[in-house]
Amino acid sequence: MIVAVTGNTGSGKSTVAALFEGWGGRRVDADRIGKEVWREDRALQEKIAGALGPGVTTPGGAVDTKLLGKAVFGDPEKLRLFDAIVQPVLRARIAAELEKARTEAGAVTVLDAALLFEWGLEGSVDYVVVVVAGEEERARRISERHGLTRDEALRRVRSQRSEAEKARRAEYVIENNRSLAELEERAGEVWRAMVRTFPKGEGPGGEE
């Protein structure tokens, strides 16, 4: 079984994916794969720099993650250009990971992917879990995480697709506006509900 966990920046979707991993899932982190894709490919970095300008590179010519984030969040055209360069390679890598996962009997693979719907990957998984949180709360979290001002954080939050739209397309929605303990409780409910769909004796464990 393959489960996708998605959500907008600051929602806590990676926290939920990590919980699922701790309960027996095998995690595939799309963000990590994405960074590996362009960090390891100099030609791809040159394409990114050529499309977005020298403002995203270090003096040595390498694409810098923080500079890249500042460039694409809040600028839909730059984000579109970046996705057009990276997405085909990234989709192929993720597809290979998921194809491999299908051969592993009795395992749950957890795809941690912020841009699941944007990349059209929802058809490759059995369940979609969307993690949601209020706009101000998400802005606060990413402001603290990345050292951004409130306005910079809000621009990032507002540059993404509507949470409500994503929630409508999911089998499960987890609200994350409160404590970590409450998030873990709700995530546990969702995990157990999904695991129960496994044929008896084949699924992973998880807390009961």
| Inter-CA distances, 127 with 3, 89, 118, 162, 194, Å | 5, 24, 16, 19, 8
User: Would residue 115 count as lying in a domain?
Assistant: yes
pLDDT score, position 175: 96
Burial of 83 (0-12, 13-18, 19+ CB in 10 A): middle
- Residue 199, pLDDT score: 62
105-140: pLDDT as tens digits:
778 999 999 989 988 889 999 999 999 999 999 999
CB atoms within 10 A of CB 149: 10
Residue 129 falls inside a structural domain: yes
Question: Does a structural domain hold residue 106?
Answer: yes
What is the model's pLDDT at position 79?
85
Using CA atoms, how far apart are residues 101 and 112, in angstroms rounded to an integer?
14
Residue 55 lies in a domain: yes
Domain that includes residue 159, residue range? 2-195
Give the count of domains, the chain: 1
Indicate whether 95 belongs to any domain. Answer: yes
Q: Is 128 helix (H, G, I), strand (E, B) or coil?
A: strand
Does the pTM exceed 0.85? no
Look at residue 75 and tell me if it is in a domain: yes
Which residue type sits at 124? S
Does 33 reside within a domain?
yes
Do the domain assignments include residue 207? no
Which CATH number covers residue 131?
A: 3.40.50.300
Residues in the chain where the model's pLDDT stays below 50: 201-208
